[in-house]
Amino acid sequence: MTKTFELNDEMAQAATELLLTTSLNSILREVRTSKPSLHFCEDCGADIPEARRKAVRGVRLCIGCQEVHEHHQRAGTGVTYDR
């Protein structure tokens, strides 16, 4: 029984590491982008405030659409946006 517990623990740790690495790489790609920020959200067309455009290099979505996008990512619905 202990062997099974150890194997499950190792699998959980590996899955957690993979998730963290994937998330970190995604964040780094966004931060390091050289693409200019959009003035209008590519999903809904709403204005993207200047403060957001300056704070997030290469921003493509308004705050509302970004929140929806992140919710879908966390929920694992497979909805992604090509940035």
Task: Give the model confidence (pLDDT) of 1-51 as tens digits.
Answer: 577 778 788 899 999 999 999 988 887 776 666 788 999 999 999 999 999
| Structure confidence at residue 79 (pLDDT) | 54
Nearest of 8, 64, 22, 18 to residue 41 by alpha carbon: 64
Instruction: Please name the helix (run of DSSP H) or strand (run of DSSP E) that holds residue 13, with its range, or none.
Output: helix 2-31
In the numeric block, which tokens belong to residue 29? 């790609």
The CA distance from 27 to 25, in Å, is 5
Enter the DSSP assignment of 20.
Answer: H
What is the arithmetic mean of pLDDT over 55-74? 91
Length in residues, the chain: 83
CA–CA separation, 35 and 4 (whole Å)? 48
